[in-house]
Amino acid sequence: MPEQIIHTHELPNGLTVVIEPMSDVQSAAFCFLIPGGSAFDPAEHGGTAAALTDWITRGAGDLDSRDLSNALDNLGVQRNESTGLNHLAFTAATLGENVPAALSLYADIIRRPQLSDEEFEGAIAGIEQSLRAIEDEPQRKLMIELRRRCYDAPWGLPTEGSLEELARITAKSVRAHYDRCLRPNGAILGIAGCVDIQEMLALVSEAFGDWGTKPDSSMVTGPRGERIGHIHHDSTQTHIGIAYDAIEYAHPDYYKAWAAVGILSGGMSARLFTEVRERRGLCYSVSASLNSLKHEGRVLCYAGTTVERAQETFDVTLRELQRLGDGIESHELERCKARAKSSLIMQQESTTSRATSIARDWHFLKRVQTLDDIRRDIDELTVSGVLDYVHQHPARDFTVLTIGPNPLKVEEA
């Protein structure tokens, strides 16, 4: 692998810039994480941060909503805005030469949004539409509701809020969220691709250097939902969600946890796919993934299957999760390592995935791992190390949620 250069710089106001110049690409991407995510939504006002994420791009600086959108399109910016638990996330990718102009537009969006009354209604109506759409898609609904049941509030709450909460949100309350939460201290800007470090640093200082800090925002905590549950839906399939405790990204054993989940669900030779789909033909879709917050993590599993096979699918899936501690073959771990190595190298072909990775690393670790660092950690994994992890963090005390025509028997959970 060519040597990676990753430059990190913290502005006096606490905004951290992480830059990774990449050779052989014409594009560059950035990922901007700004404090003020949904975990900081006021009590019973879930969806406040989500409303801000939509509203904030509807006009900024001197440009109204349409002029701003046209300016970004003219720069060829492929963009995405999303609401995370901790941050509002803005990602953008375009040709490297257009990044300075794009960054300056994002400085307007983040620091000088118009947040005009006439644009507010459209933002809220859009969120209402997407909340209603989720009701028609049981698989999406399942994963949202599973999180609510396996994490305490606010960490398990849906970032989009609910229809009831949306009705309480006003332009005033969303502006208050902007004033209270969005700030440079704790903000992270990851930039990767065809860019020059010094040029980027100068631009970022000029655009964000005089952005004043704000105190930490408070959040409302609360209990999680029921551990075992069923939601009735006249769907063709029964959608099964299972969650159990794991560890967070910053934990020293993280790669062991990653390998444990990889052995269950990392590729088509992994256990869940093999046992549930290939050997028994129980479903089309079955998977498990590691989900990490800053201080805790879970394994989240999904399987979707027709009603008659749902109980067997659930039983077989649960058994596979539980028997991981009985033993792991060395070739299973080797395959996880091979897949990881290949993914790491291919990441270097995407400026967007590098920009996102370096910003995420800084959020979770307060440092950025080079691809070589990660490869070393992966290479050092051993079967006994992964098994020790599984014994320390066994799959048990499951949170189980099903959506479909009939509930399942979940006694052994």
Residues 239-258 contacting another protein, CB under 8 A: 239
> Angle, nearest 10°, between helix axes 330-347 and 351-365?
110
Whole-angstrom Cα Rg for the chain: 22
Does residue number 73 form part of the binding site for another protein (CB under 8 A)?
A: yes
Burial of 234 (0-12, 13-18, 19+ CB in 10 A): exposed
Q: Edge-to-edge strand order for the sheet containing 188-193?
A: 7-10, 16-21, 188-193, 27-35, 87-95, 78-83
User: Among residues 69 and 173, whose Cβ is nearest to another protein?
Assistant: 69
Does residue number 328 form part of the binding site for another protein (CB under 8 A)?
A: no
Q: Which of 31, 60, 166, 283 binds another protein (CB under 8 A)?
A: 283
**Within its chain, how far is the Cα of 81 from the centroid?**
12
Distance CA 24, CA 43 (A): 48
Residue 388 is encoded by which pair of tokens? 């020790």
Does residue number 70 form part of the binding site for another protein (CB under 8 A)?
A: yes
Coil, strand or helix at 246: strand
Question: Shortest distance, CB of residue 231 to another protein, whole angstroms?
Answer: 13
Q: String of b and e for 19-52 (b: at least 16 CB within 10 Å)? A: bbbbeebebbbbbbbbbbbbbbbbeebbbbbbbb
Question: Shortest distance, CB of residue 13 to another protein, whole angstroms?
Answer: 31
Amino acid of residue 12: P
Listed in sequence order, the residues at least 6 apart from 25 whose beta carbon sits closer than 8 Å to its beta carbon are: 96, 193, 194, 349, 351
Q: Which of 112, 132, 366, 396 binds another protein (CB under 8 A)?
A: 132
Q: Which of 64, 128, 152, 245 binds another protein (CB under 8 A)?
A: 128
Does residue number 136 form part of the binding site for another protein (CB under 8 A)?
A: yes
411: number of Cβ within 10 Å: 6
Q: Which of 179, 278, 379, 397 binds another protein (CB under 8 A)?
A: 278
Give which of 104, 84, 100 is closest to 38, Cα–Cα: 84
Does residue number 308 form part of the binding site for another protein (CB under 8 A)?
A: no
Footprint (CB under 8 A) of another protein, residues 335-364: 335, 338-343, 345-346, 348-352
Q: Which of 83, 185, 237, 399 binds another protein (CB under 8 A)?
A: 237
Listed in sequence order, the residues at least 6 apart from 160 whose beta carbon sits closer than 8 Å to its beta carbon are: 46, 47, 50, 83, 127, 130, 131, 134
Does residue number 406 form part of the binding site for another protein (CB under 8 A)?
A: no
Q: Which of 11, 17, 25, 316 binds another protein (CB under 8 A)?
A: 25
Provide the mask over 166-205, with x wherever binding to another protein is found by CB under 8 A and - wherever it is not.
Answer: ----------------------------------------
Does residue number 405 form part of the binding site for another protein (CB under 8 A)?
A: no
Footprint (CB under 8 A) of another protein, residues 217-236: 234-236
Does residue number 60 form part of the binding site for another protein (CB under 8 A)?
A: no
Instruction: Tell me the window of 144-152, 172-180, 318-326, 327-335 that interacts with another protein (CB under 8 A).
Output: 327-335
Question: Shortest distance, CB of residue 175 to another protein, whole angstroms?
Answer: 19
